[in-house]
Structure 1
Amino acid sequence: MGLDEFKVRVPSLLWIPLLISGALLFFVDVFQLQYYSRVPVKEFSLDQKYLTGFTINTPGCRIPYMDPFDEHIKKFIETPEVPKCNKGIPALFYSNLTSIVLNYSSLPSYNVTVSELKCCYKAFWRVEPKNDEHDNKIDYSENCIKFSESVNIADEFIQVVCTYDNSIKYKDMFSFVPLKDTSAKVTINPRPLNVLMIGLDAVSRLNLHRQMPKTVHFLQEIEAVELLGYNKVADNTFPNLMPVLTGMTENELTSSCWPSTKHYFDKCHFIWKDYKEKGYVTAYGEDSSWMGLFNYQRRGFQKQPTDYAYNYFNRNSEKEIGNCHKMNVYQCEGARYVYNDLLDYIKKFSVTMDKNNLPYFAFFWGASLSHDYLNKPRLGDDNYYNFFKSLQDEGHLNNTVLIFMSRMEERLPFVIISLPKWYRIQYQRAYKTLERNVRRLTTPFDLHETLRDLLHPFNLTDEYVDREDRKSRGYSFFSEIPSKRTCEDAAIESHWCTCQQSLEIDQNSTVVVEVADYAVEYINFELEGYAQCANLSLEEVLNARLMTHSNNSIVAENTIKDYMLTIRTSPGDGIFEVTIRRSVNPNKLGVMGTISRLNLYGKQSSCITDFHLKLYCYCKKLL
């Protein structure tokens, strides 16, 4: 089922207040022009030598300091509704590292006694897809193994069913991390650093501070380093995580190993393959995986890409016991929050690897908590705090590089890196360089180079940090990033670049209308060949801003100017954001980056499958 079938459409009249609030949040977050005289108290790795009022202030990039709790923003921050999983009926069983156990306190909710329940479990697993299939196949064992109050589990994924009076009274799904033959053979001496990457989709750096203060404060306490100038390089999750995982843009990926959405990703070289070749155990997993990185409008993998893969459990679990569906996600699996189930699995994985002295590379991505609502991440603050704290208190971060990151709220996601204390002391030059890069312009390409460096963490000596084999597009965070670096140097299109100032201009001016018309013409050109899609026309320019990278006056008469517009088209009331570069001599227009869809399109584009063009298409059959 595609994303368009889940997305809902908000009535067009409601977009007026939504757009006003969204635009205010965006411009305060990204292009705020009022520079604050105070330095933030609770930021990571602050350097007082920088001019007050800027987060990044280098010759190549200036990003103004933005207060996460500015008075203009506070009115949009509210406490979201807490999902009521399973209609308030608690889970009958819970799991630990190796077994499932009856929760006796839940029995009254089911109005049964232990002796009256008949329970059994079946294992289930991923089935390798054939050439014409998507990577979403699951199979179950034939036998359902009976048990009573608890049972040890040797399988990776199981389904539990309990009956009473020959009818199903309870169904649940549990995941475990049994040792596999591939991991049991791993022997590396000395043991290298684990790499644990945990993503939280659609959360900017500022919104993390607003919504999850306990989590942020704890990461500060363990001296994690937050990158203040981490800038996305493309529109959504996929083209921003491909540079992290492969070092390539989406176009480069397409030309080298993934020709189209009808192909699998098996031929692409993901960073976890490098770790696997070095002897690491590898893991990958997402929640809300139906719209996951490799699965939404894509085929996924033919061979399982990593030793452990949680997303196959998640997909089947949401299908069987998912509830509290809102916007695009199931918020609950049975009586448990979907995001919390993922955190529990990550904890089981980390504990199992550490108990067996196995080094690992793990990449996990959560979307169910944060994908659709600005304020929902605050519901997970306590659980994320407890999760990170338990890893620290139980010693599971003693030999682990923790990377906590996001993809976007808009252009400045968060990336927070925690290194083991002993490692920070022993490799002080590398750590100090990482701290210095806190206030430099950084990108997903840099994070990829950092992951490559962490393949050899004991090589990060002074000589290695000072090496001259630097890349212009990607720099490891353990190498000093040039202060003169610009968005162009870092392969960030103007549309996504935050090293800019902006000035709101008349949305009805001749030049703005000219640029807006060009944007709509561009969309229609992209849709050529799709006769089922209606031709779009410009209905209204909702906002227009003149952008500049220059430190000089924003209204200086430059030969090249970038205009960022928010426009509404018809039919369908599509709301788009686009950056158009206009050259004065010769007169030339061009789209910078991609055109972003700001409102939901529901079933408007159900007549096509291209996941890029779905953003633009309005099916003629709806006219």
Structure 2
Amino acid sequence: MMSKQSNHTVLHYLKIITVLGCVVLVLNNSVSIFQSSLYLKEEIQTVNRSILDVRTNSSTPTEDATLPPAGYLVWNKHCRIPDIDPFTRDAMKIFHKKKYSSCSEELPLTKMQYDMNLRSYIIHIDETAKFKLIDKNIRGSINCCYQSILRSGSGNRVDKDFKLKDCVAFESGDVIPDDVEGLIITCKDDKKKKNIQQDAFYLVREKQDVRQRLETYQNGSFPNRPASVLMLGIDSMSKFNLRRVMPETTDRLIKDGWFELKGYNKVDDNTYPNLMAFLTGYNQPNANSKCKPKTINGLSNCTMIWNLFRDNGYVTSYAEDETWMSTFNFNKIGFSKSPVDYYLRPFMLAIEKTLRTKKQSGMSFCVGQRHSAEYIFDLAIDLATRYKSEPYFGLFWTNTFSHNSFSDPSSMDTRVKKYIDELKENGILDESIVVLLSDHGMRFGPLRSLRQGFLEERLPFIFIWLPYWFRAKYPHFAKALEANKHRLTNAYDLHMTLKHILELTGRTGKLPQAEDCPNCQSLFYPVPAERACQDIAIDEHWCTCIPFEDVNKNDKIVLGAISAVLDNLNTYLMEGKFFPRCTKLKLKSVDIARKRYDFDNSLSNSEGPALDHYRVRFTVPQGKFEASVSYSKTLKTYEIIDSVSRLDAYKETSECIEDGDAKKYCICDKKSEPNKTISNTNK
């Protein structure tokens, strides 16, 4: 795609060629050069028309010719995913819309500016904000200083500790030293000696090793233009809830022509396995055994997708808010060394500990002057703007405004839409592939308790943006994304797509298949129309393809299935020596019982004994669970299918143990002495 600037440049040279043509015409009585200039002008107009066609035709992705029947997201022989109305009466009854509000009524005292000529950051004190604060009976003058943030952990706390250096006084207009990457600013009344305001900034510094890497690959002979990849994550957000609570964001994505994958099904329970699927191609057992997240150096020695991008000349970044529950740190060691070029965790640890915080739904919603999520998205914008003309890969994940409440994201709808607009205004969408996605929907709470809660949990949203130059060069990739809109897809497909983007650069050869999904593929090719969950490593418990029908909750087979689940969980707790701190689980009530409808005859045609599959949701004192269970009609035996889901928030009821996996099933005995830990629902 040619930019407007490129067109102006070509037209400028066109005018020069035209003038030269006239001169030659006079001198040599020849018109050939003049005719060539007219031909060149006609070619430029043709290219412009082609680019306009791509923009026009790509603005709204066309529907696949074979749409599912009304009321379904996916429909084939083996997979029928229902489409549900996000605005049903029962959902809207429990939805409480919230307005965006600033984290501080005060104007920020300090601002940071990047000087392109100096290649450095300059700090400024806002005089308007200063005078407003002085009007608030400040007795003396305002003095400000900054503390740089350093990573300082070791051993099991290698990714959990930070250090603040001494506070360095500054004046407005001072240049921040190049070795400062993250800093906390404190401004005080020099008479009262008390803090007036604190703020924090993360600086996207030019790094020598990064510049050398970029130049090494820029000087190489590679056939194709590398596409940058920007991944923006909102935790615990289903495709239905995105429409329900963030309509402005949804409308912007659809209007601007982002590609949605409506059949994107999660592959496991919580954040860690669903992210590891697209970051490594591993399922949870493999991710645990090969990446060893609970051992020092385990994750750092694990090959993540950002390692592949870095090794092929890309700048890399990863950021996540709510540090205690971050994906790679909740009940895990974390990274023993910075996993990427720009790693925000030490900065986030420091500001969450040092600055004033405001809680909402149990999360650090505000930290200092800004919302916690804004630090994450601000870095995404800064990095993508700084390296707009150079290849980068970044993953930016937010938890604070969506993890604990399905209503809270409504307060950030306008703000997230604004970030999407900034991507466009800053020219980032002209250069980069952008993926906006979630890991899963709400796993607990009132929304999950609704009848459609099963679908809400298992169908996270995902939108993909392709820049117009990429669509023009690879039009069949855009068509494939359109075709895949109503087909079953998952995070392993996303993993293969990220590898495909890297392969297209010509900087690497064919990259390995996702290890735990041999049949998964790049989303830039149409996925098989007749896909089933078992084809792409989605276990039945997480699969939304299979219809179930209600059965009698008091049926003896249903009660037998629940008894089998409780026996299994109690045995697990007993063998793990979590008794007597955890109580023995006992049935209180059966909430929902459903039986699988064998619409594709996969059960009746399978080898072995005839099976019935049940999905049961039940309550025990202080807990709610859901399980998938198979019942052998011949052997009269039960078998739990995959995992058992916990449907209520269990921070308060599992404080007596520290094991992250066992917390999911533990309800502490009130008589046992609680072992207080900062824990919540399993990430």
Equivalent in the alignment of 1:28: none
Unaligned runs of 5+ in 1: 1-41
Alignment match of 1:424 (pick from 471, 474, 493): 471
Determine if the alignment matches structure 1 residue 386 to structure 2 residue 421: no
State the distance in 2 between where 1:198 and 1:332 align: 19
Matches within 5 A, 1:594-613: 594-613=643-662
CA offset at residue 151 of structure 1? 3.6
Matched letter for residue 366 of structure 1: T
Matched letter for residue 169 of structure 2: K
Alignment match of 1:177 (pick from 183, 204, 209): 204
State the distance in 2 between where 1:453 and 1:114 align: 62
Contact 2:199 2:368 in 1 (8 A): yes
Contact 2:517 2:537 in 1 (8 A): no
Contact 1:543 1:565 in 2 (8 A): yes
State the distance in 1 between where 2:559 and 2:181 align: 58
CA offset at residue 70 of structure 1? 3.7
State the distance in 2 between where 1:613 and 1:436 align: 42
Contact 1:193 1:359 in 2 (8 A): yes
Aligned residue-pair number: 569
Alignment match of 1:208 (pick from 236, 242, 253): 242
Matches within 5 A, 1:178-327: 178-185=205-212, 186-187=214-215, 188-189=217-218, 191-258=225-292, 260=294, 264-327=298-361
Matches within 5 A, 1:57-456: 57-80=75-98, 85-86=103-104, 88-97=105-114, 98-107=121-130, 108-109=132-133, 111=136, 116-127=141-152, 129-142=153-166, 144-153=167-176, 154=178, 155-164=180-189, 165=191, 166-185=193-212, 186-187=214-215, 188-189=217-218, 191-258=225-292, 260=294, 264-354=298-388, 357-409=389-441, 410-456=457-503
State the distance in 1 between where 2:246 and 2:547 align: 28
CA offset at residue 242 of structure 1? 0.7
State the distance in 1 between where 2:528 and 2:519 align: 11
The percent identity for this pair of structures is: 30
Matched letter for residue 453 of structure 1: H
CA deviation vs aligned residue, 1:251-299 (integer Å, no higher than 9, x gap) = 0122223174666411211011111110111100101122101111111
Contact 2:589 2:618 in 1 (8 A): yes
Equivalent in the alignment of 1:541: 590
Contact 1:536 1:569 in 2 (8 A): yes
Q: Give the direction of change, closer, same or farther, for the CA distance of 1:555–1:377 in structure 2 (3 Å limit).
A: farther
Equivalent in the alignment of 1:14: none
CA offset at residue 537 of structure 1? 1.5
Matches within 5 A, 1:504-515: 504-515=550-561
The TM-score normalised by the length of structure 2 is: 0.78
Which of the two has greater helix per residue?
2
Q: Which moved more, 1:584-593 or 1:439-448?
A: 584-593
Q: Give the direction of change, closer, same or farther, for the CA distance of 1:277–1:71 in structure 2 (3 Å limit).
A: same
Equivalent in the alignment of 1:481: 527
CA deviation vs aligned residue, 1:189-209 (integer Å, no higher than 9, x gap) = 464110000000000011112
Determine if the alignment matches structure 1 residue 492 to structure 2 residue 538: yes
* Higher alpha-carbon Rg: 2
CA offset at residue 140 of structure 1? 2.3
CA offset at residue 333 of structure 1? 1.2
Equivalent in the alignment of 1:591: 640
Matched letter for residue 512 of structure 1: V
CA offset at residue 85 of structure 1? 2.6
Q: Secondary structure in 2 aligned to 1:283? A: strand
Equivalent in the alignment of 1:10: none
State the distance in 1 between where 2:254 and 2:463 align: 10
State the distance in 1 between where 2:643 and 2:295 align: 19
CA deviation vs aligned residue, 1:162-218 (integer Å, no higher than 9, x gap) = 121222222222111011122111123464110000000000011112222222222
Matches within 5 A, 1:12-27: none
Q: Which moved more, 1:294-303 or 1:477-486?
A: 477-486
CA offset at residue 132 of structure 1? 3.4
State the distance in 1 between where 2:600 and 2:62 align: 25
Matched letter for residue 480 of structure 2: T
Equivalent in the alignment of 1:525: 571
Equivalent in the alignment of 1:616: 665
Matched letter for residue 588 of structure 1: T
Q: Give the direction of change, closer, same or farther, for the CA distance of 1:228–1:119 in structure 2 (3 Å limit).
A: same
CA offset at residue 525 of structure 1? 1.6
Matched letter for residue 524 of structure 2: F
CA deviation vs aligned residue, 1:64-89 (integer Å, no higher than 9, x gap) = 23233344533333312656635x44
State the distance in 1 between where 2:648 and 2:123 align: 43
CA offset at residue 575 of structure 1? 1.0
CA offset at residue 427 of structure 1? 0.6
Q: Give the direction of change, closer, same or farther, for the CA distance of 1:511–1:556 in structure 2 (3 Å limit).
A: farther
Matched letter for residue 280 of structure 2: T
State the distance in 2 between where 1:48 and 1:191 align: 32
CA offset at residue 554 of structure 1? 12
Contact 2:100 2:414 in 1 (8 A): no
Q: Secondary structure in 2 aligned to 1:74? A: helix
Contact 1:579 1:591 in 2 (8 A): yes
State the distance in 2 between where 1:160 and 1:244 align: 37
Q: Secondary structure in 1 aligned to 2:157? A: coil
State the distance in 2 between where 1:538 and 1:279 align: 56
Contact 1:91 1:334 in 2 (8 A): no
Tell me how large the CA RMSD over aligned residues is: 2.9
